[in-house]
Amino acid sequence: MVAAQDGHGGVYHRLLGEVSIWLPLYFQRRLPHGDVDDAVQETLLAVHRRRHTYDPRYPLGAWLAAIARRKWIDQLRSMGRRPTEELPDDLSVGDHEASVTSATVLERLLGELRPAQAQAILLVKLQGYSVDEVSRETGQSASAVKMNIHRGLGRLTALIEKTDDVE
């Protein structure tokens, strides 16, 4: 950025290219898919307009993140001002009977497990948390979380095999 501030166009072009790789990743976690490109473009324009404000004594990443955060907030505000359209009363909805039945059966099966086993399976296997995250959240060691998952899945398998009405 310092070289870009001094007028080195090639370096500035490379900087914008690298920023253009990071910005979509930043916005994809924060905005709906259709709004990401707009936020990236607005941020790139803001970086270009405000490049003279960058102080080389501070990290470029923090300066860039501050601009991206402001553009993210601007994008959220503009989303709130968009007109919404009413859904028709006769909107057809697919049948969710199988999903509801599966969720009910799963809830009943998890209720047959020890609470620590059910919680570990729910968080790691169904909600996608890592073993380390569950370990920190529950206060159990990582090996205890793994053991609860292993034993709980074994118990679930035994319960399912005993059930006559499983398809």
Can you tell me which residue has the tokens 């074994």?
Answer: 154
Identify the architecture of domain 2-80 in CATH: Orthogonal Bundle (1.10)
What is residue 24's predicted lDDT score, i.e. its pLDDT?
Answer: 94
Alpha carbon distances (Å) from 65 to 62, 74, 125, 156: 5, 14, 33, 46
Inter-residue contact 56 to 92 (CB < 8 Å) = no
What is residue 101's predicted lDDT score, i.e. its pLDDT?
Answer: 82
Q: How much is the pTM?
A: 0.48
Q: How many residues does the chain have?
A: 167
**pLDDT (tens digit per residue) in 5-18:** 888 778 888 989 99
What is residue 36's predicted lDDT score, i.e. its pLDDT?
Answer: 93
Identify the architecture of domain 110-162 in CATH: Orthogonal Bundle (1.10)
Domain range summary for the chain, segments of one domain joined by +: 2-80, 110-162
In the predicted model, what is the mean pLDDT of residues 83-104?
Answer: 77
Tell which residue, 118, 120, 2, 129, has the closest CA to residue 55. 2
**pLDDT (tens digit per residue) in 91-101:** 777 777 888 88
Give the least confident one: 35-39, 62-66, 99-103. 99-103
What is residue 20's predicted lDDT score, i.e. its pLDDT?
Answer: 92
